[in-house]
Each structure stands twice: as C-alpha cells, then as structure tokens.
C-alpha cells in the first residue's frame, strides 16, 4: 500500500479480530457481471460502522459526542472478482495511529478465496467546525488492542 497507509493487510483471516458479512446485490455488479470496483467502498464503510458498534461505540453516538470520522485515504488491491449472490466476509483490524488519525486494514474473502485487501486512513474531526481532533481515548485503545 502507499501514501499514508502504513498497515500491510494480511491474507490470513485469523489476523483480523473483527469480521462482518456482506451479501452482493445485483445493483453492485457491472456489465461484466462482477462487483464494480467502486462498490467495494460501501462494503468497507459498512464493516467500519459495524466494527465501531461491536466495540460499544455506535457511530450515531460518536457523532452525538461531537466527533466525525472522515475517510482521507483508501488503498485497495483487487485479486478476484465478487459476483451477484456471493457472500463476502470482511475482516477488519485497527492500527497505525497518529495524534488525529487511525487506519483500518481489511481482508475481503469468499469462503477461503481472497478477493481483495484494503486499508483506509481516517481523521477524527470536530463535527461542528470540521477541525482535526485528537483521537478519543477509546479509539486509541481499540487500535492498540
């Protein structure tokens, strides 16, 4: 991966402490019958929101506490196509923090086949002013775990 992304996503599903399952809808596919490359981003977002909720910090509560979590970079490697009707298991692991940013590594699998890997970089922002915020302690702790 390049840019700010410092995490190297593993192809080993056991490396990811969180997993979320997504069903591929027909609307996600392109003229070739495979998931369009841009449709993977909502899969990552859905996984990220589920991860925060499972950690006891639903995004609605995070926002109510004045924090927005903006995506500032995405790096993705596509290895095999997903198709309509597939079930995609997405592993996620937080890590690589700075004072105001954190990263999440993802592994997208169909059964034992690796479909893609990704890393997203996020900035914590004050949702009133849009200015960068220090990572909330709970988020820094979650990334360090």
Assess contact for 38 and 69: CB atoms under 8 A: no
Helix, strand, or coil (residue 144): helix
Angle at 18 between CA 66 and CA 134, to 5 degrees: 30
Q: Provide mean pLDDT across the span 39-60.
A: 96
Query: How far from 46 is each of 59, 132, 137, CA to CA, in Å?
Result: 11, 23, 23
Backbone angles phi, psi at 8, to 5 degrees: -110, 105
Distance linking the first and last C-alpha atoms of the chain: 22
pLDDT class for 7, splitting at 50, 70, 90? Answer: confident
pLDDT class for 95, splitting at 50, 70, 90? Answer: confident
What's residue 61's pLDDT? 94
Domain boundaries of the chain, sorted by first residue: 13-144
Q: Provide mean pLDDT across the span 41-49.
A: 97
Helix, strand, or coil (residue 139): helix
Among 4-13, 35-44, 93-102, 112-121, the range scoring the smallest mean pLDDT is: 4-13
Higher pLDDT, 139 or 43: 43
What's residue 5's pLDDT? 67
CATH superfamily of 13-144: Hotdog Thioesterase (3.10.129.10)
Q: Provide mean pLDDT across the span 50-72.
A: 94
Model pLDDT for residues 84-94, shown as the tens digit of each residue: 999 999 999 99
Q: How far apart are CA 85 and CA 59, in angstroms?
A: 28
Q: Which alpha helices (H) appear in the chain, and where do they start and end?
A: 40-54, 59-64, 137-144
Tokens of 27: 């609307």
pLDDT class for 3, splitting at 50, 70, 90? Answer: low
User: Which candidate, 43, 100, 47, 49, places its Cα nearest to that of 72?
Assistant: 100
């Amino acid at each position: 991966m390049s840019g700010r992304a410092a995490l190297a996503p593993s192809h080993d599903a056991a490396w990811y402490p969180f997993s979320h399952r997504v069903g591929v809808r027909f609307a996600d596919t392109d003229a070739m019958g495979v998931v369009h490359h841009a449709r993977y981003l909502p899969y990552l977002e859905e996984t990220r929101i589920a991860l925060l909720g499972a950690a006891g910090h639903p995004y609605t509560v995070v926002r109510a506490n004045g924090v927005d979590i903006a995506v500032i970079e995405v790096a993705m490697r596509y290895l095999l196509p997903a198709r309509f009707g597939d079930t995609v298991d997405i592993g996620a692991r937080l890590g690589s923090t700075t004072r105001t940013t954190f990263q999440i590594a993802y592994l997208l699998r169909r059964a034992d086949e690796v479909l893609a890997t990704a890393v997203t970089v996020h900035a914590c922002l004050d949702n009133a002013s849009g200015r960068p915020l220090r990572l909330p302690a709970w988020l820094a702790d979650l990334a360090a775990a």
